[in-house]
Structure formats: structure tokens, C-alpha cells
């Protein structure tokens, strides 16, 4: 028997909206609740500290899946990666990407198809967050997820989603009571360090950086070190890292494949077009034709961040200096426009906070497509 990975893009009417997921589960041929391994969601919050739309969405989704599987929300959350990303600025459209893996009674596809693997690290001591032990643990989890997905060659991995913990005041205090020293006492800063360490763990596992180049000091500082396939987000609700990898592998059925490229900066349209092309989409260099997009573009996922230099190709941007709108909100709106220019769609998983995830000011872009 083969495995079949399916990805379902579902629009949401508000952060707590689970009607679309319920309809998917009820639909003939839809996935069963037990088959869902991950849900990635864009919610319409502000994507910053006081964005409660993520927690509400995760709570609502876990509640629905618990009712459908006869378990508790806690059991669902321990098994399914629920990665809610706040912020649908500009034209971005709130939606869920529901990822399921099912047994397929038929034979595997003749070529490689979308393969999904998930893995979890152990819980981290506070002093490990944002440091080399986290890098190594994430690398180990990526290897485990690759094995689960049946992917041997790191080159066949095209997207790695990591949900990682952060330091809270309570965790810092607990560590310091033991005499331990944490990477930072600033909780907001810890989010970036945790994302960065996680991304470097991905880069290490995929051979994108050499272990010798890595150190605590490099995390958050040496931006020349990065993964072109990692997408990391930090959340207060977990103490471990949750890893979802998407790649192409033999042994899977269905008609989905995944590809990726790396945006060199926030307006790098050609890289988005290359990623679409690598997934078999697009012909000319312009916008994806609407029929093709609707029929075959299943999902686009990318990272967005303002360049630290304060400029894009030499022209000043104001994202860092705007005390009204957080820099990540500007960046998501901008990159959302660039990828929408390429695809003619707006329901894309554009996520902020890209430390060591692509070069400074740029980031990975991955495309899941249906074969023609």
C-alpha cells in the first residue's frame, strides 16, 4: 500500500471559524479527522504579542477535531501540529491549510509525490532555547520526520515548518532559580532567537550549513547562515519544537508535488516564478493564468521580513521606523503583493519573522501543486 498526502485550502470567515473544516470532514472523499497531521492557518490578527486570534483558532480547531475523534483538545494538540500565523495584511486572505495523510489501497505513483513527515523534539529547558542544544534537537527531529516521510535525500525536502517555544518571565525565573543563565531575559527577543535556532537546526539537517559554522554567538547575528526551506514560528503554548516537513518521495500516491526557491529580497518576483515553474506551473513570465491557478495551485508558503539595512535595492523603506504599524505587518503586506502578482491569488501562507530563514530581507517560498 501507498500513502497519500492531501492538502486542503479552506477560507475562514473569522478566527474561530471551523465550519469549513467541518464541511471538509463531512464531504464525500474528504479526509477523516484521524488522518489530519497538521493545520497551518493564517488568521487576521496582528501577528504580534497581543494577537489572540492564533490561540482562539487553535482552540477552536482542537475542539472540533477532539469532538470528531472522541478525544480531548489536549490529545489533539499533542498529535497534530496546529501552526497559526497571525497577520493577513494588504490583500492576504485568511485561510487554513489542512494536511492529511491516508493509507491508499492502490499502488504508489510512478514518480515522487508529496510526502509529509512530522516529528517532535523533547521539551527544552529554558536555557536551551535559542541556543545550540535547540539547533541540534531540531536537526534530529528533521531527520526523524524525513525518515517517517521516506525521504532519504535532503534535496527532496522543500519546506520545513517548525513551531518552537519562547522564554516567558516564569520560565526565566525558574531557570535562574536553578542558577542557569538564559540566552536573553527579553521575552520578545527570545522569539527571534528560538525561530533562528530552529531554522539553523533545519539548515544543519538539510546540509545547508556546516555544523562547524554554528555557535550560540552566531544565532541571531550571522545572517549569512540560513536555511532556504525553513519556516519557523514561536508560540507560548509549547515547550518542545514541532516539525512538519514537506518533500517529494517515492512510495506516495496522489497527484501533488512540492517545490521551492529562495527570495533574495522582498520584491524578488523571479524567485516566486521559479518556484511555481519548478512545481510545474506557469508558462510565460507573467501572472499564472487564472484557470491554471485554480485547478493546480494548491498552496504557496513563504516568509516575509524587512531588510535590516533599511533599504530594498538601495531605496529606503520605513518599515523599521513606523511605530504605528509593526515592521512585520508591513513586510507581510508587501510580500503578499509580490506573490499575488505571480499567482493571481491572495490566500497564501505568508508568515513574518524570518531569522536565518532565507537571506536578510528575503526568505523561502514553497509551492504545492497538482500535476497536470
Q: How far apart are CB 342 and a copy of itself at their closest, in Å?
A: 7
| Selected binder of a copy of itself within 15, 235, 247, 358 (CB under 8 A) | 15
Q: How far apart are CB 142 and a copy of itself at their closest, in Å?
A: 31
Q: How many CB atoms lie within 10 A of CB 311?
A: 13
Catalytic residue among 227, 233, 271, 307: 233
Per-state percent for the chain, helix, strand, coil, to nearest 5: 35, 25, 40
Measured distance CA(34)–CA(18) in Å, rounded = 16
Q: Which range, of 28-36, 202-210, 251-259, 265-273, touches a copy of itself by CB under 8 A? A: 265-273
Q: Which of residues 288-347 bind a copy of itself (CB under 8 A)?
A: 290, 312-313, 315-319, 321-326, 329-331, 333-338, 340-342, 344-347
Sequence-distant (≥ 6) Cβ neighbours of residue 369 within 8 angstroms: 256, 257, 258, 259, 276, 279, 280, 281, 296, 297, 298
Angle, vertex CA 255, rays to CA 249 and CA 257, nearest 5: 50
Active site residue 233: yes
Q: How far apart are CB 266 and a copy of itself at their closest, in Å?
A: 6
Nearest to 194 by CA among 334, 52, 356, 1: 356
Give yes or no for residue 88 binding a copy of itself (CB under 8 A). Answer: yes
Catalytic residue among 85, 163, 231, 351: 163
51-54 contacts, C-beta under 8 A, 24 or more apart: 51/86, 51/87, 53/15, 53/84, 53/86, 54/15, 54/84, 54/85, 54/86, 54/235
Q: How far apart are CB 156 and a copy of itself at their closest, in Å?
A: 27
Q: How many CB atoms lie within 10 A of CB 107?
A: 10
Give yes or no for residue 55 binding a copy of itself (CB under 8 A). Answer: yes
Active site residue 224: no
Q: Which range, of 43-51, 122-130, 176-184, 253-261, touches a copy of itself by CB under 8 A? A: 43-51
Q: Do the beta carbons of residue 158 and residue 224 sit within 8 Å?
A: no
Please list the active-site residues. Answer: 163, 233
| Binding positions for a copy of itself, rule: CB under 8 A | 11, 13-16, 44-46, 48-53, 55-56, 59-60, 88-95, 266-267, 269-270, 273, 284-287, 290, 312-313, 315-319, 321-326, 329-331, 333-338, 340-342, 344-347
Amino acid at each position: 500500500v501507498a500513502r497519500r498526502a492531501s492538502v486542503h485550502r479552506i477560507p475562514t470567515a473569522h478566527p474561530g471559524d471551523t465550519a469549513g473544516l467541518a464541511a471538509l470532514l463531512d464531504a464525500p472523499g474528504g479526509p477523516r479527522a484521524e488522518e489530519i497531521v497538521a493545520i497551518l492557518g493564517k488568521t487576521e490578527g496582528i501577528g504580534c504579542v497581543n494577537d489572540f486570534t492564533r490561540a482562539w483558532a487553535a482552540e477552536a480547531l482542537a475542539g472540533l477535531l477532539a469532538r470528531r475523534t472522541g478525544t480531548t483538545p489536549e490529545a489533539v494538540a499533542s498529535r497534530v501540529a496546529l501552526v497559526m500565523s497571525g497577520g493577513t495584511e494588504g490583500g492576504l486572505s485568511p485561510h487554513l491549510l489542512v494536511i492529511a495523510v491516508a493509507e491508499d489501497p492502490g499502488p504508489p505513483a510512478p514518480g515522487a509525490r508529496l510526502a509529509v513527515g512530522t516529528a517532535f523534539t523533547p521539551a527544552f529547558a529554558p536555557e536551551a532555547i535559542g541556543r545550540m542544544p535547540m539547533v541540534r534537537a531540531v536537526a534530529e527531529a528533521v531527520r526523524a520526520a524525513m525518515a517517517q516521510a521516506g525521504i532519504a535525500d535532503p534535496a527532496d525536502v522543500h519546506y520545513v515548518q517548525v513551531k518552537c517555544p519562547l522564554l516567558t518571565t516564569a520560565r526565566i525565573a525558574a531557570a535562574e532559580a536553578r542558577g542557569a543563565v538564559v540566552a536573553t531575559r527579553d521575552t520578545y527577543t527570545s522569539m527571534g532567537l528560538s525561530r533562528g535556532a530552529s531554522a539553523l537546526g533545519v539548515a544543519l539537517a538539510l546540509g545547508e550549513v556546516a555544523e562547524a559554522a554554528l555557535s550560540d554567538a552566531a544565532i541571531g547575528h550571522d545572517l549569512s547562515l540560513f536555511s532556504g526551506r525553513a519556516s519557523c514560528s514561536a508560540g507560548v503554548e509549547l515547550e518542545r519544537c514541532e516539525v512538519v516537513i514537506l518533500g517529494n518521495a517515492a512510495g506516495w500516491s496522489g497527484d501533488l508535488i512540492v517545490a521551492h526557491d529562495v527570495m533574495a529580497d522582498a520584491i524578488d518576483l523571479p524567485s516566486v516564478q521559479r518556484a511555481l515553474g519548478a512545481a510545474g506551473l506557469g508558462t510565460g513570465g507573467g501572472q499564472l493564468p487564472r484557470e491554471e491557478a485554480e485547478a493546480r495551485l494548491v498552496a504557496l508558503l513563504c516568509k516575509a521580513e524587512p531588510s535590516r539595512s533599511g533599504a530594498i535595492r538601495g531605496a529606503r523603506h520605513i518599515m523599521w521606523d513606523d511605530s504605528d504599524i509593526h515592521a512585520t505587518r508591513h513586510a507581510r503586506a508587501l510580500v503578499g503583493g509580490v506573490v499575488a502578482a505571480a499567482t493571481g491569488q491572495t490566500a497564501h501562507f505568508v508568515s513574518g519573522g524570518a531569522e536565518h530563514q532565507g537571506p536578510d530581507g528575503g526568505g523561502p517560498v514553497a509551492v504545492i501543486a497538482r500535476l497536470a
